[in-house]
Structures are given as C-alpha cells and as structure tokens.
Amino acid sequence: MSTRVNSRPEIRTTSGVVRGIWENAVAVFRGIPYAEPPFGARRFMAPAPVRAWDGIREALEFGPPVPQARHTGSVMSSVSGTGDGSDDCLTLNVWSPDLGAARLPVMVWIQGGTYLENYSSNPHYDGATLAAAGVVVVSMNYRVGAEGFARITGAPDNRGILDQIAALRWVQENIAAIGGDPSNVTVFGQSAGGACIAALLVMPMAAGLFRRAISQSMPGTYFSERLAAAISTTIAARLGLRATVDELSRLSPRALTDATDTVIQKLPEFVESWGPMSLTPTPFSPVVDGVLLPDAPWRALAGGAASDIDLLIGHTRDEFRLYTSRPGAKPTDARMTAAFDHLAPATATEDGYRRAYPDATPEQRYEFLNSDWLFRMPSLHLADAAHAGGGPVWLYELAWSFNREQGASHCLDFLLVFGTLGSDEVRAHPAANPNAAVEIPRVANHMRTDWVNFATTGKPGWVPYDPRTRATRVYDAEPITRRYPEERSRRIWRTHRFDTLDLLRTD
C-alpha cells in the first residue's frame, strides 16, 4: 500500500484537483462532481460533462441530494437557479485503501430507492469497510423520480441511468489515479439499482464501462414507451400541463414531486389500464425505448447481450416482508384479490399458491406472491437468460435474518455487504433473534468476502449457475451451496416470461 504522507491527500482528476481525507486506513473523497448541475437549460437533458475548475476543490462533504420528496435544498423550489449549491447534485464519492499504482478492483455502487429517492450520504452506504477489504469503492447520486425516469417529450428516456453511465465514464478516466484498475470495474446495486444494472448490461452506451455486475433484489419492472407516456401524462395533467420539456421546465422540482406523490396515492385505481405496475410503490421504471435501452434484459441477455460480462445475481428469501411488516400494512381482502388477479401468472392464480403453500395464511401467500413477482422470479429468470445467452452467472439467496418481524427482507443484503448494521444495533432490536448479534459479523464477512472475490477474479467462490443443477449460494448462519431453495415458487413461474410491461388500455 502507498504511504500516507498526510491526512489530506490530493488527487488530480480530468476536471481538476480534489482534496480528500484519510479516515483510518482508507482515503475518502466525497462530493466530486461528475456532471454539470441538471437544471436550467440542462434540465431533463442527458448529463453534461463537468467543467474544469482552478485550484483545489475540497472533497470532504457529500454532495446535495438530487430532487426528491423531503429534500429541502432550495433547488427544489427554484426554476432559475439557487444560491446554496443544492443544484450541484450529480456527484460521486470514492473510498480507496491505496492511492498508489495498486490497480485494485473497483466496485461502483448504484443504490436503490424505488426510482423515487436516493442519496449517497446515507450512512448505510458507507464504503470504508468494503474498501478496507481490498477494493476501491465508488458511489453516486443520480436523478430519480420524474427528473430521472419520466417519459417527457423532447427529453431522452432513462436520464437517471444516463447519469450512471456518466459516472462510470468518470471512473474510466480517473480511477487509476485513486488506486483503481479501470479494466476491472464491477457495478453492484440493489433494488432499483439492481434493475438499473440489468439495464446497463444491455445498453450499447454502457458497453466497455464495466467487466462484472452484481444485481441484488432487482425488481422486474421495465416500461414500454406507451405505458411510461401514459403515466407521465397523468402526472403532468395534475398540474394542468403536458409532459413536454417546455412545459415541465416551468415547474420547480418540488411541484413535480408533489404531483408525482398525488399519483402514487392513487396508483391502484389505474390497474385496469396501467396493469400490474399499479400495485407497486412507484410509477417509474426504466423505459424500453428501443434505442438507449433496446430490449427488456431477459430477452436481450438470452440473445447473447453481455455474454462477456460476469454476472452475480440473487435476492433475499423474504423480500416483500419489509413492506408487509410495517405498522398498518396488513393487506385488505380487496388488495389481496387484486394482487392475485393481476400479478400471478395465468397458470397459477391464488389456488395455485394455496396448493403450493398449503400451510400459509392468506397474508403469507400475498407476501410470497409479491416477493416472487417483483423480486425473486425476475432475478432467477435473469440468471436463466444469462446462461442461455452464454454468459457466466452465479446465483445467491440471503436466508439469514436478525429479527423475527422482517425475516430476510428486502435491503438486508446491502447492510451486510457494506458492514453498516452492527451487533449492538441488532442486539437492541426488540424482535432480535437469539443469536443474531453473534452471527451477524460472520454472515456479513462471508457475503463481503464473496463480493470482493467476485470483483477481483470473476469467481465468488461457488460453482456457476445452470438451469439443470440450479446451484445457489444460500447465506445463513453458515453459507451453503445447494439447489435453488424456492422450488415451489419456481414451479409456479416456470412458464412465465418476464418482459416489457405495456399499457393495457387507453381511457
């Protein structure tokens, strides 16, 4: 490792010099801009290269969040610029254990947040522990909500993913100066971030920007242009406008976020026209426009796209329990009926789930259905597609949990990989499992080590997946490799084909 000359390391990037800080044995650079502020004439446009600066830019603080609900920066209320710097939100952060010519593996984190929210300053995304394992870690802010994912006439689709591509280009140009190897980049992300990674795998613009990919708990929702346009039209109509750049640019981000929130509250009312996406928590997903995103990931991977990319993919066992375990979240009979009517595959309605899970309560079958439709089966089917297309793929499931209420729920996996859920926090949980506080360091270390091994060598430590043996790494108190554990759900969904979601009807 390089010698730490002082506590304030300076690195020259393509745009200028940044000054970070050593924190223990890791150099940290926060809030480095990778694109110009996406406002004014650049609003709803593809990210623009950041302008160079003179002198030394301090990189001690995370950049401001992108516009989203509960964001209080003045950019949220302005259409003509701000004075507090909150418009300079397209920034990234780097943790590196070695600033020499180490050529360490690089892991670029793409966080989730239902395509509605994210901020890289979230302490659960702190990259220090992961970087100390021998990799350079990068995280970023990217546009979310209508700013990043609404279909708007006159604007490119998937602007949030275009931001991710811009950040990956920054990595290619600059990471060698921070100890990383630009030829050995792994993108990894969870939930919406995992689905963005599945899109990046098949986007021509992203070709050559990374070598490996880890998709954690990807939701299987990708929208057609018609469906995305109908949703954006409805959001704009709440403000008496059309979904065009000219008209929406007159609005502050806060007004657009508020209009989006209004539509979110009414999503189930659109189920007959917008289909199953109306039963999710968000009106946004990547748009399959045939150009930036040529096809849905399953079809594209099966056709051989990204066959040169190593892929690690998986999910947690109890994905949807994060939502059903919340206070007041018990589903109504009407909600459960709607879910089985619109989410279950045609070959297995509620009766199919009742036969597959005879000892489960109706609420548990509702949870299984949502876990399967939204997260578990899209991940499994993407592994099948990658294998069919000739690409190397590994599959995992997180079965370990630390509390009885949530089980191995959505989001638990990244807390373990980053090491940001500690034994004391687990021990203090009122529903903590008896041995969880003792087990969590070991489980987290197993996952983190496998992720780092994959980023380093392309092999996480168990046999690759294929549809015959369905070898799966199952993380419990001790990890094991076994046949895919969710066999009952796999059988229910075996003939289903995940694809682009389309508008069911126009009103």
Residues acting as catalytic residues: 191, 319, 410
Q: Cβ(74)–Cβ(47) under 8 Å?
A: no
Q: What are phi and psi of 324, to 5 degrees?
A: -75, -20
DSSP 8-state symbol, 182: E
CB-based burial of residue 334 (10 Å sphere; 0-12 exposed, 13-18 middle, 19+ buried)?
exposed
Q: Which residues pair with residue 93 across a beta bridge?
A: 139
Structure tokens at 70: 């509960």
Placement of tokens 């003792």 in the chain: 438
End-to-end CA distance of the chain: 63
Give the closest residue to 6 by CA, choosing from 32, 30, 27: 27
C-alpha span between 467 and 474 (Å, rounded): 17
C-alpha triplet 475, 125, 108: angle, nearest 5°: 85
Q: Cβ(386)–Cβ(304) under 8 Å?
A: no
Q: Which residues contact 2 (CB under 8 A, 6 or more apart)?
A: 98, 99, 100, 102, 179
Give the 3-state secondary structure of 420-444: CCCHHHHHHCCCECCCHHHHHHHHH
Q: Cβ(254)–Cβ(65) under 8 Å?
A: no
Give the closest residue to 477 by CA, choosing from 437, 425, 431: 437
C-alpha span between 420 and 448 (Å, rounded): 12
Q: Cβ(167)–Cβ(140) under 8 Å?
A: yes
Give the ranges where 372-486 is alpha helix by DSSP (H). 377-388, 412-418, 423-428, 436-457
Q: What are phi and psi of 93, to 5 degrees?
A: -135, 150
